[in-house]
Amino acid sequence: MIKEIIDLINGYGKFFITAHVKLDGDALGSELALSRLLGNLGKEAVVYNQDPTPRNYHFLPGAGDIVHVLPPLEDFDAAFILDCSELERVGDAAAAIGKIRQLVNIDHHVSNDGFCEIRLVDTTASSTGEMIFRLLTALGADIDREIATNLYTAILTDTGGFRYGNTGRETLAAAGVLVGRGADPQWISENIYEKFPRARIMLMARVMQSLSFDCGDRVGSLTVLRRDLEETGALPEDTDGLVDLPRAIDGVSVSALFTEIGEQRFKISLRSKGAMDVARVAAVFGGGGHVNAAACRISGDIATVKRLLFAAMELPE
Ligand SMILES: [Mn+2]
């Protein structure tokens, strides 16, 4: 399939690139690296995202050129849909984007539904960034500092800083090559993880008060209510990473973050240690993800939502 994608890149001139809503480092780094690659090859590429770029990713080379208003889609020869397991993940424009002549999906989610013919899906890859790295290598394309910085960011963030189970030998080898091409690990980490606004830490302090344990103390959870954001001045993106906090507790194998997204409606982010498959739990409620990281939405008051979720985990009470 990589051959088909290379032929398509060589054969066409104008490319549309997008990724999922609720942007993360993998989505952004993959988009910007691919866009830069296409530009280096003399092609035209536009990166479109429905959502704004989170503040801590503004440093990524090319981030300022991302558009958030849909350009005329009939101009494009092909569209790259990155880090998406379903076309719908790109947001409200999914149906329109789906009409672009040629769709290419590059992704690593286990729940990928194979929505288009030309696709590069490897559920063993750490990140879409690692797959873009393979594509670049197969193309024999030059990896400049801009590409290296974006791909290193994609891999770094999707592996939780090279800590998760998806961190393989190839992952680290790719990261090594990228550092050799100018990606600066310290500068990149500082930008992503150590430039938070004060409101984010105030939100964290407040949300930590909601820490609770269930299922025989094997599940640790936090709850973010809308008023927590309002009263601290934090933004929705400031809840990123909160889900990882309970998982760091000894004896906790699953962490859950309940985020109030509407009247009697919660988004639940799940993280697990080891073999516990949270994608299966999320799927019970129509969600999805990976073995160790998944998400879903459930309606009801917080007590009901918690009860439904914990019942689906089938862990001893
Ligand atoms: Mn990813």
Measured in angstroms, how far is the CA atom of residue 274 from the centroid of ligand 1?
19
CA neighbor of 213 nearest in space, from 310, 97, 138, 114: 310
Which residue ranges make up each domain of the chain? Answer: 2-193, 198-313
Measured in angstroms, how far is the CA atom of residue 126 from the centroid of ligand 1?
7
Measured in angstroms, how far is the CA atom of residue 159 from the centroid of ligand 1?
9
The pairs formed by 182-185 with CB atoms below 8 angstroms and a separation of 24 or more are 182/144, 182/145, 182/148, 182/149, 183/145, 183/148, 183/149, 183/151, 183/152, 183/153, 184/149, 185/152, 185/156
**What's the mean per-residue pLDDT of the chain?**
96
Superfamily of domain 2-193: inorganic pyrophosphatase (n-terminal core) (3.90.1640.10)
Cα-only R_g, the chain: 20
Q: Please give the model's pTM, rounded to 2 decimal places.
A: 0.86
Q: How many C-beta neighbours within 10 Å does residue 42 have?
A: 7
Give the per-residue pLDDT at 316.
Answer: 55
In the predicted structure, residue 317 carries a pLDDT above the cut 90: no
The pLDDT tens digits of the residues spanning 173-229 come to: 999 999 999 999 999 999 999 999 999 999 999 999 999 999 999 999 999 999 999
Distance of alpha carbon 55 from alpha carbon 75, whole angstroms: 30
Burial 224-238 (b: 16+ CB within 10 A, else e): bbeebbeebebbebb
Measured in angstroms, how far is the CA atom of residue 237 from the centroid of ligand 1?
17
The pLDDT tens digits of the residues spanning 79-108 come to: 999 999 999 999 999 999 999 999 999 999
Which residues does 254 contact at the CB level (< 8 Å), separation at least 6? 215, 218, 219, 220, 247, 270, 271, 272, 273, 276, 278, 313, 315
Q: Which amino acid, 199?
A: A
CA 196, 249, 237: angle at the middle one, nearest 5?
25
The pLDDT tens digits of the residues spanning 28-75 come to: 999 999 999 999 999 999 999 999 999 999 999 999 999 999 999 999
Residue 112, phi-psi category: left (phi > 0), alpha (psi -120 to 50), beta (remainder):
beta
DSSP symbol at 53? P
Measured in angstroms, how far is the CA atom of residue 218 from the centroid of ligand 1?
26
Contact 87, 64 (CB under 8 A): no
DSSP symbol at 48? B
The pLDDT tens digits of the residues spanning 241-288 come to: 899 999 999 999 999 999 999 999 999 999 998 889 999 999 999 998
Contact 164, 156 (CB under 8 A): no
Between 290 and 313, name the one with better pLDDT. 313
Place of tokens 């809503």: 21
Is the CATH number 3.10.310.30 carried by domain 198-313? yes
Measured in angstroms, how far is the CA atom of residue 76 from the centroid of ligand 1?
25
Measured in angstroms, how far is the CA atom of residue 271 from the centroid of ligand 1?
14
Measured in angstroms, how far is the CA atom of residue 24 from the centroid of ligand 1?
8
